[in-house]
């Protein structure tokens, strides 16, 4: 069997995973795939009763020696079967998660989908009446990849799913703002967790800023208050599970 992927950065979407990917590519002990987001373990067209990992392994250099292979695909934390599939593939894998204030994450997510043309509703409507677009849909429906602005910010159950599949010592929970504001300390936590040398200090990364397209609306204080009511209790549970600080998140103000 080919050498296994041993590191997974599993989320969250719009939480700084592209910036972390840029740091990972600069570390000599890490072996990057040929494309940034692999989307192997959330691909429903595969035969998961008897998975063939050939396509996954083909994305890595065959001569990468003892370098550690990594997959940074942020939907893995949210897509229900993904974490269990990763465990079945490599139960010794180490998983890293970056979390962002749910309201800011929702706005960034909506901005991306609107810029792509996959969203037509204004932000205020998308996080309110727009949530009904998910009603009655199968758990793995494509629409859940797009219209889950609030749902992806309900982190507690997603963390519980990770804890149900992997020992806690194989999981690292981080805040995306800390990677931006204090990248050296945050990357030191990552390197210690992975058992590799410290990352080279090439400065903070800010990859993939918001798309430069005209947007039909901006987030308002009413939008923030509305979203906060939906996620605040979940955020408190999430904080208790992970030990991460949330008091400075706009959702909690």
How confident is the model at residue 207, as a pLDDT? 64
CATH for 55? 3.40.50.300
Nearest to 105 by CA among 154, 170, 71: 154
Number of domains in the chain: 1
When pLDDT is averaged across residues 235-243 and rounded to a whole number, the result is: 98
Task: Give domain status of residue 114, yes or no.
Answer: no
Q: Which domain holds residue 199?
A: 7-102+152-252
Residue 115 lies in a domain: no
205 close to 19: Cβ distance less than 8 angstroms: yes
Q: Is residue 63 part of a domain?
A: yes
Task: Look up the pTM and report it.
Answer: 0.96
pLDDT tens for residues 171-181?
Answer: 999 999 999 99
Q: What is the distance, to the nearest Å, from the Cα of residue 207 to the centroid of all Cα atoms in its chain?
A: 14
Whether the ω angle into residue 169 lies within 30 degrees of 0, i.e. cis, is no
Q: Give residue 205's pLDDT.
A: 86
Residue 120 lies in a domain: no
The C-alpha atoms of residue 8 and residue 16 are separated, in whole angstroms, by 14
Record the tokens describing residue 64, joined without a space. Answer: 């990468």
Does the structure show a pLDDT above 70 at 1?
no
For 31-90, what is each residue's pLDDT tens digit?
Answer: 999 999 999 999 999 999 999 999 999 999 999 999 999 999 999 999 999 999 999 999
pLDDT of residue 210: 61
Is 123 within a domain? no
In this structure, is residue 32 part of a structural domain?
yes
pLDDT value for 213 = 79
Q: pLDDT confidence of 211, banded at 50, 70, 90? A: low
Average pLDDT over residues 183-196: 98
Average pLDDT, the chain: 96
**Beta pairing partners, 71:** 8
Helices and strands counted in the chain (H then E): 10, 5
Question: Averaged over 148-155, what is the pLDDT?
Answer: 98
The 10s digit of each residue's pLDDT in 89-138 is 999 999 999 999 999 999 999 999 999 999 999 999 999 999 999 999 99
In the prediction, which pLDDT does 209 show? Answer: 61
Residue 15: inside a domain, yes or no?
A: yes
Nearest to 12 by CA among 199, 209, 148: 148
Tell me how crowded residue 13 is: count the other CB atoms within 10 A of its CB.
22
In a domain, 203, yes or no: yes
């Amino acid at each position: 069997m080919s050498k296994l992927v041993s590191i997974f950065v599993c989320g969250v979407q719009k939480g700084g995973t592209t910036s972390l990917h840029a740091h990972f590519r600069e570390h000599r002990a890490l072996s990057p795939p040929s494309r940034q987001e692999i989307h192997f373990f959330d691909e429903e067209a595969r035969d998961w009763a008897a998975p063939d990992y050939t396509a996954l392994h083909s994305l890595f250099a065959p001569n990468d020696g003892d370098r550690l292979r990594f997959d940074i695909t942020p939907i893995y934390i949210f897509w229900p079967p993904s974490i269990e599939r990763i465990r079945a593939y490599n139960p010794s894998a180490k998983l890293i998660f970056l979390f962002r204030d749910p309201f800011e994450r929702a706005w960034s997510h909506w901005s991306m989908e609107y810029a792509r043309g996959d969203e037509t509703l204004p932000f205020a409507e998308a996080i309110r009446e727009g949530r009904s677009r998910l009603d009655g849909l199968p758990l793995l429906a494509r629409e859940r990849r797009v219209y889950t602005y609030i749902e992806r910010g309900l982190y507690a159950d997603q963390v519980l799913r990770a804890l149900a599949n992997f020992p806690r010592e194989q999981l690292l929970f981080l805040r995306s703002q800390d990677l931006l504001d204090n990248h050296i300390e945050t990357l030191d936590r990552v390197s210690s967790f992975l058992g590799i040398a410290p990352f080279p200090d090439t400065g903070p990364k800010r990859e993939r800023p918001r798309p430069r397209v005209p947007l039909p609306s901006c987030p308002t204080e009413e939008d923030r208050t509305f979203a906060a009511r939906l996620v605040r209790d979940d955020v408190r549970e999430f904080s208790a599970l992970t030990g991460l600080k949330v008091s400075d998140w706009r959702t909690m103000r």
